[in-house]
């Protein structure tokens, strides 16, 4: 079946540190991959996406590359800010006949200290 596994949190970093949040997936075919972010008290917002192998999604300094050979979509940022503190969700949308259904990982909480 389809599933997403993320590294467990919480992740605590100092401001300007490098961020990596690991995400691996299991899926048939070629799913689309997403990172969503949830700030405290708010709904999920799309951070970036990639729809085919070797695509790189990027937004607000965050990047993730669709790696089919390792079934991974790790999130990275070169220099985090306090305002990046949030919960990050990796998700996939199966390729065929799934109606755009999103399958989420369990989320990784990021806390950035000044």
Partner 1 sequence: EAGVVQSPRYKIIEKKQPVAFWCNPISGHNTLYWYLQNLGQGPELLIRYENEEAVDDSQLPKDRFSAERLKGVDSTLKIQPAELGDSAVYLCASSLDAQGQNIQYFGAGTRLSVL
- Contacts to partner 1 by CB under 8 A: 4, 31-32, 36, 41-46, 49, 51, 89, 91, 93-95, 98-102, 104-107
Closest CB 64 distance from partner 1, rounded Å: 15
d(CA 30, CA 48): 17
d(CA 47, CA 49): 7
Q: Looking at beta carbons only, is 99 or 114 nearer to partner 1?
A: 99
The pair of structure tokens assigned to 24 is 């691996």
Q: Looking at beta carbons only, is 26 or 79 nearer to partner 1?
A: 26
Closest CB 80 distance from partner 1, rounded Å: 22
Q: Looking at beta carbons only, is 17 or 85 nearer to partner 1?
A: 85
Which residue is it, tokens 């990050």?
Answer: 88
Cβ within 8 Å of residue 5, ≥6 positions away = 23, 24, 25, 105
Q: Looking at beta carbons only, is 19 or 37 nearer to partner 1?
A: 37
Closest CB 94 distance from partner 1, rounded Å: 7
Closest CB 58 distance from partner 1, rounded Å: 15
Chain-centroid distance of CA 16 in Å reads: 19
Helices (H), 1-114: none
């Amino acid at each position: 079946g389809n599933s997403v596994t993320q590294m467990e949190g919480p992740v605590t970093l100092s401001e300007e540190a490098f961020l990596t949040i690991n995400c691996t997936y299991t899926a048939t075919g070629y799913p689309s991959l997403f990172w969503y972010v949830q700030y405290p008290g708010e709904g999920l917002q799309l951070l970036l996406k990639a729809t085919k192998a070797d695509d790189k999604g990027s937004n607000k300094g965050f990047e993730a590359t669709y790696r089919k050979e390792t079934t991974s979509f790790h999130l990275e940022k070169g220099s985090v800010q306090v305002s990046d503190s949030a919960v990050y969700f990796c998700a996939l949308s199966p390729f065929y006949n799934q109606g755009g259904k999103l399958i989420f990982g369990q989320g990784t909480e990021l806390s950035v200290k000044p």
